[in-house]
């Protein structure tokens, strides 16, 4: 990747001369290192995209690490204009929402998540910043009409985001001092809403405390979730907060319920609707992907997969096991152009054998252990590019190229990878060439590999293990 443009712009980045490319262009270290979350929102996003790994250019995928502070760390409502996101929670408990989406740490400890995104440069549009903090500001008359609120509310919000206050630290409510440990969903909803409002709409901490306390206290008297936020006996102090909340409620509804629009683009065919949850009914008709479930029947289960933190058994001939999370495991990935895998490697030589993904680039993150990894470029050069990876390191395997990972350590190794397809496919070279069904004619292989026919016959008789 070059940054010299001479006033010429391309959809991506300029390309480095392939002869000058090295393993450094596909590598990023340190993603295992916890990040500082002492900031107004209580979260930090560490991106690994084409800026950090130039080799991602044109490959349609990237990665992020997200650290959340305990008791309310928030990744505020935002959207990625050029990517679908698949999130894996490594530590902690998160309350999540999408398409305009957020994550909120409802646990008592730090939380950590990793996400693959279906673009080399997914972009981020944080809703509050974009709507009320643009430079120059959007005409208040437009926002007044758009959100059906009084102009004073719009002016208030624009002042919170403008200029010198945009990056200033705000005093945040530490929820553990104000609510009991076990208040359940009322606490979650109260603090999710208040934290989102407080960041995205810049409500002050004192107002937040009053609102949160009144909200939680009143939850005990609410049987109907439709009554949430209506305080039964407001004091003058809580009444002022309620007045402001009333003016902001349309903005909050916009942030949380604008789930009917999506701007996702991917290496797979781009979706033409919010989502297309896969179903297996075909009636003899085939499509490029899966048929779509009726959107009215879609639920959170269609976007969820549990247990990716559980170690897998690696006692097999190659000493590795791949756990896929693609459209088969999560039907909601249909049309969204991304998936995820966990790979477990046995110590002293656990191998993910040479293979290729015909429909996806892979971005690999090493969680534990030491891996020797590499890929081979296409004909005629067939250059081997390799790197030894340690915990926290990230490496890219470009779409379609033969690649492998080998555990050179004395302990188990674990890696996670994002792939730029809902169904990336796997072609393990040995299995495909010598284990096809029916077998490839031995004469073909004898000539192709310049081997004695007896060697080819021997290889074709072997049992070729599939670790996927």
334 annotated to a ligand binding site: no
Distance, in Å, from the CA atom of 128 to the CA atom of 251, rounded to the nearest integer, reads 9
CA angle in degrees (0–180, nearest 5) for 34-128-45: 15
In order of 281, 325, 369, 460, the CA distances from 293 in angstroms are 10, 19, 41, 42
Distance, in Å, from the CA atom of 160 to the CA atom of 391, rounded to the nearest integer, reads 40
Q: Phi first, then psi: give them for residue 325, nearest 5 degrees.
A: -130, 85
Q: Per the omega criterion (within 30 degrees of 0), is the bond before 438 cis?
A: yes
DSSP 8-class letter at 218: H
Question: What residues contact residue 19 under an 8 Å CB cut-off, 6+ apart?
Answer: none
In order of 84, 130, 131, 167, 430, the CA distances from 78 in angstroms are 12, 9, 11, 17, 44
167 annotated to a ligand binding site: no
In order of 199, 243, 246, 380, 415, the CA distances from 238 in angstroms are 19, 9, 12, 73, 50
Q: Are 271 and 336 spatial neighbours (Cβ–Cβ below 8 Å)?
A: yes
355 annotated to a ligand binding site: yes
Count of alpha carbons within 13 angstroms of residue 353, beta-carbon side: 16
Number of H helices, E strands in the chain: 9, 21
233 annotated to a ligand binding site: no
Distance, in Å, from the CA atom of 339 to the CA atom of 348, rounded to the nearest integer, reads 29
352 annotated to a ligand binding site: yes
Distance, in Å, from the CA atom of 460 to the CA atom of 199, rounded to the nearest integer, reads 62
Q: Are 216 and 177 spatial neighbours (Cβ–Cβ below 8 Å)?
A: no
CA angle in degrees (0–180, nearest 5) for 173-174-180: 115
Distance, in Å, from the CA atom of 150 to the CA atom of 393, rounded to the nearest integer, reads 51
Spatial strand order of the sheet with 62-68 comes to 43-48, 62-68, 111-117, 85-91
Q: Are 396 and 357 spatial neighbours (Cβ–Cβ below 8 Å)?
A: no
Q: Phi first, then psi: give them for residue 378, nearest 5 degrees.
A: -75, 170
- Binding positions are 352, 355, 357, 362, 403
- Binding positions for Mn(2+) are 355, 357, 362, 403
- Binding positions for oxalate are 352, 357, 362
């Amino acid at each position: 990747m070059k940054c010299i443009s001479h006033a010429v712009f391309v959809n991506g980045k300029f390309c480095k001369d392939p002869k000058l490319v090295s393993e450094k262009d596909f590598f990023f270290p340190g993603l295992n290192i916890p990040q500082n979350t002492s900031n107004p929102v209580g979260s930090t996003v560490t991106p690994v995209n084409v800026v950090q790994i130039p080799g991602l250019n044109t490959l349609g995928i990237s990665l992020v690490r997200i650290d959340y502070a305990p008791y309310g760390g928030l990744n505020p409502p935002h959207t990625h204009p050029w990517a679908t996101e698949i999130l894996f929670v490594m530590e902690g408990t998160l309350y999540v929402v999408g398409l305009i989406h957020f994550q909120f740490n409802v646990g008592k400890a730090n939380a950590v998540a990793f996400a693959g995104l279906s673009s080399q440069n997914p972009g981020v549009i944080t809703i509050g910043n974009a709507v009320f903090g643009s430079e120059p500001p959007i005409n208040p008359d437009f926002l007044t009409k758009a959100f059906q609120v009084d102009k004073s509310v719009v002016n208030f919000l624009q002042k919170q985001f403008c200029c010198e206050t945009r990056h200033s630290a705000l005093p945040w409510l530490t929820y553990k001092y104000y609510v009991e440990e076990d208040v359940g969903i009322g606490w979650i909803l109260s603090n999710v809403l208040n934290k989102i409002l407080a960041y995205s709409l810049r409500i002050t901490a004192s107002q937040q405390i009053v609102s949160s306390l009144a909200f939680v206290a009143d939850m005990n008297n609410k049987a109907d979730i439709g009554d949430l936020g209506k305080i039964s006996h407001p004091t003058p102090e809580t009444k002022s907060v309620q007045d402001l909340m009333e003016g902001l409620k349309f903005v909050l509804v916009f942030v949380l319920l604008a789930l009917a629009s999506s701007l996702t683009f991917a290496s797979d065919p781009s979706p033409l609707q919010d989502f297309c949850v896969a179903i297996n009914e075909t009636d003899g008709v085939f499509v490029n992907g899966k048929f779509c479930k009726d959107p009215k029947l879609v639920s959170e289960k269609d976007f969820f997969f549990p247990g990716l933190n559980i170690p897998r058994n690696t006692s097999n001939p190659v000493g590795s096991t791949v756990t896929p999370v693609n459209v088969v495991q999560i039907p909601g990935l249909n049309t969204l152009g991304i998936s995820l895998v966990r790979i477990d490697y046995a110590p002293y030589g656990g191998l993910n054998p040479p293979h290729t993904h015909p429909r996806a680039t892979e971005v690999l993150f090493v969680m534990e252990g030491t891996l020797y990894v590499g890929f081979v470029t296409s004909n005629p050069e067939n250059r081997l590019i390799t790197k030894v990876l340690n915990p926290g390191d990230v490496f890219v395997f470009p779409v379609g190229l033969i690649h492998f990972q080998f555990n050179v350590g004395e302990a188990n190794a674990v890696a996670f990878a994002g792939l730029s397809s809902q169904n990336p496919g796997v072609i393990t070279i040995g299995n495909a060439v010598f284990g096809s069904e029916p077998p490839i004619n031995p004469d073909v292989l004898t000539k192709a590999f310049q081997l004695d026919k007896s060697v080819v016959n021997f290889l074709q008789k072997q049992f070729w293990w599939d670790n996927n």
